[in-house]
Amino acid sequence: MRLLSDFAAAPKRKASCSAVLAAAGDSVRFGEPKPFVDLDGRHFFEASLNAFLDSPYIAEVLLAVRREDKDRFLAVLRERYRNTGKKIRLCIGGATRDETTLKAFAALDPETRFVAFHDAARALITTKQIDRVIESAFSCGAATAGCPVYDSVKRADGFDRIAEDVDRDRLFTVSTPQVFLKEIYEVARAVGKKDGLHLSDDNAYVTHAGFAVQIVPVPYNFKLTVPSDLETIQTLYRKERNTP
């Protein structure tokens, strides 16, 4: 297991964190571009964008988008985010989330020390939760948001019948943000390329390369995937905003 001490020289420079918001999916299961779905009077992607912009640790936000959506994103940013005081940029994503994160990583500010990957379809993330994950990464080198599994877990056989009980102790569902020291992520992706991996979860690249990733417990953060998800997310989002 590689540790942050393997990169002891890296954090001596001032820590800064860039956020990558992955918003380049084709939204096939949803039926329309998810970033622009209405969420309490704003575009869906703005919930995550605003949460990251409010973090004191975030130096820039890079939105990874589909080429056909670029002008639409630019119009929103020019109208509502001209005076944020933080850098917001766009890059064109890839055909898969894996390709999108790699392209976004290559486009980051060279001076950034850490990178936070987040799914723009997860609108319930809060700045407080983001800061906790980033602070853990500053300390450990790699950290991720995760939610403990509370339901009973079963393993099924080939006919979807219960085959065995799975001990849920220490089980987590892992979401985003996922935050890494830049040098750790570079090594992880290089190892993944050498080993021919194509993964949808950046944590998997990092752990495959032998690094430890600290889980930071957060409430379950629903991902907008199908239309029926929207009502649940809308209700929880409004509840969060109305809570002092």
Q: What is the pLDDT of residue 138?
A: 96
The Cα 224–Cα 38 span in angstroms is 12
Q: What is the pLDDT of residue 210?
A: 97
pTM of the model as a whole: 0.91
Closest to 214 measured CA to CA, from 136, 148, 153: 136
Q: Is 109 exposed, middle or buried (0-12, 13-18, 19+ CB in 10 A)?
A: middle
Q: What is the pLDDT of residue 13?
A: 43
pLDDT one digit per residue (tens) for the chain, 244 residues: 665 555 544 444 457 899 999 999 876 667 778 999 999 999 999 999 999 999 999 999 999 999 999 999 999 999 999 888 899 999 999 999 999 999 999 999 999 999 999 999 999 999 999 999 999 999 999 999 999 999 999 999 999 999 999 999 999 999 999 999 999 999 999 999 999 999 989 999 999 999 999 999 999 989 998 888 999 999 999 887 775 4
Number of H helices, E strands in the chain: 7, 11
Q: Residues of 200-236 as b/e, b for ≥16 C-beta within 10 angstroms?
A: ebbbbbbbebebebebbebeebbbbeeeebbeebbeb
Domains of the chain: 14-241 (3.90.550.10)
The Cα 239–Cα 244 span in angstroms is 10
Torsion of CA 140, 144, 150, 152, to 10 degrees: -100
Closest to 207 measured CA to CA, from 182, 238, 185, 176: 185
